[in-house]
A = this chain, B = another copy of it.
Amino acid sequence: MSTISFEAPRGMRDFYPEDMVWRNRIFDAWRDAAEHFGFQNYDACVVESLELLQRKSGEEVSEQIYAFEDKSGRKLALRPEMTPTLARMVAAKQKRLPFPIKWYTMAQCFRYERMTRGRKREHDQWNMDIIGSQEVLCEAEILGAAVYAMRAMGMPDEAWRIHVSSRALLGELLAVSGIAEAQHPAVFIALDKRGKISDEEIAALLCSEGLDDGAIEKTFRLLNVTSLEEATALAGENSPAIQNLKALFTIAESMGYAHLLMFDIAVIRGLSYYTGIVFEAFDAQRKFRAIFGGGRYDSLLALVGGQPTPAVGMGFGDVVVGEVLREILGEDAPIAREGYCIGYMTAAERSAAVCLATRLRTEKNRVDLSLVAQKPKHFFGKAGNSNARFAIFLGPDDVASGKVQVKDLQTRESQEINL
């Protein structure tokens, strides 16, 4: 029979056990952080209706959707992000849910796009959303949980920063500059492309949206605002957007992560539905793409046909953070040794080994029981390369005496136990 490719489909990832060590480090930190901050877990199928995804998604994403028809001709797709699904699920039970709700999920998402470094066609994304409250404490809680997760993964505080801005503030500043509100959405989309395309191309985009040269110049000048003080001078002390940002920085102080926040007017976020504070986290060197991002999107539910409801959300993919962690901690970041390996010399000792394994497992220990009889040298070689903390090898003498040595693979010490 002819062989077929052993590769995963293009852009899709395989995770061998050695890869899972990294992935589980990330997933465990996500889950742990969300649970510690009192978020409730939800999930949905990776397949969604194409109509829902097209309704909600930004223009760029819509072209990148993996769409297909099922055998009844239903138009389906692999979701590119979780937010449309969240909006649908919340809208379906909007009258019964105990708002404000704090929900999280870890979801595989797909985008068909050209393959470049760090860009796969699928990734896993941690989403946290708080729906039903306008309090800036929502933003603070979501950022607090993200900080908790980063620390749980072993990321040092000095290695990264959360860049914070506000769509509402930028809107106020554009208004002060005399740019009509109707043009703001197009300006946001154009400015978000900064760094990806040249400033000349952005200027051309703004021009095609009807901004004259003076308005374009004023727009670029706004991007030179480098501090919240400067922004305050332009927008005024009474600006709701400024007061909101300052309140966030104050709560972050109480929560112990204000030193991780920096005001950055260049943070826009690509999707059109953000309405208030927006944020993106980057490694301090800015070598990698954004680690996570999100913000307030008070108009999302109305977009899918639900009741207008204030909301804040965050998306945190597994690819970029994995690259940053490997860069900072090294490929061989240590793994905690845990549990037992049990081996045996001949088939005659196997039954005693099975009984010992069963006893240790009943006591809630992790036990890797050898499937085949083997020489001690071979067994201890494999045990040393495993993640086990303790190794036990049963020879005929051990079974006869009813006692066996437990070797601690970390300290190299041994201790005798009864069989």
Write the nearest CB–CB distance from A267 to chain B, whole angstroms. Answer: 23
Interface residues on A, range: 35 or more
Question: What is the bound-complex CA distance between A362 and B36, given in angstroms?
Answer: 9
Q: Is residue A244 within 8 Å, beta carbon to beta carbon, of the partner chain?
A: no
Write the nearest CB–CB distance from A83 to chain B, whole angstroms. Answer: 14
Q: Is the interface of A mostly helix, strand, loop or mixed?
A: mixed
Question: What is the bound-complex CA distance between A86 and B305, given in angstroms?
Answer: 42
- Please list the 3 inter-chain residue pairs (A to B) with the smallest Cβ-Cβ separation, ordered nearest first: A38-B368, A3-B305, A68-B68
Q: Is A365 touching B36 in the complex (CB atoms < 8 A)?
A: yes
- When all copies of this chain in the complex are counted, the total is 2
Q: Is B122 touching A9 in the complex (CB atoms < 8 A)?
A: no
Closest B residue to A38 by beta carbon equals: B368
Q: Knowing A45-B12, A133-B372 touch, does A35 contact B305 (C-beta < 8 A)?
A: no
Beyond contacts A38-B369, A137-B369: 18 other A-B pairs, Cβ-Cβ < 8 A, are A1-B303, A4-B55, A6-B305, A9-B48, A12-B47, A13-B45, A14-B42, A15-B43, A46-B46, A47-B66, A47-B110, A47-B122, A71-B112, A137-B350, A141-B369, A144-B361, A148-B361, A255-B358
| Sampled A-B contacts (16; CB under 8 Å) | A2-B305, A3-B304, A8-B48, A12-B44, A15-B41, A17-B41, A17-B42, A17-B103, A37-B368, A38-B339, A70-B112, A130-B371, A137-B354, A138-B371, A141-B369, A254-B358
Query: Which among B13, B355, B358 is the interface contact of A44 at CB below 8 angstroms?
Result: B13
Q: Is B6 touching A141 in the complex (CB atoms < 8 A)?
A: no
Residues on B with C-beta less than 8 A from A93 are 16
Q: Is A382 touching B98 in the complex (CB atoms < 8 A)?
A: yes
Closest B residue to A52 by beta carbon equals: B4
Closest B residue to A44 by beta carbon equals: B14
Residues on B with C-beta less than 8 A from A9 are 45, 47-49, 74, 76
Q: Is residue A399 within 8 Å, beta carbon to beta carbon, of the partner chain?
A: no
Q: Is A6 touching B368 in the complex (CB atoms < 8 A)?
A: no
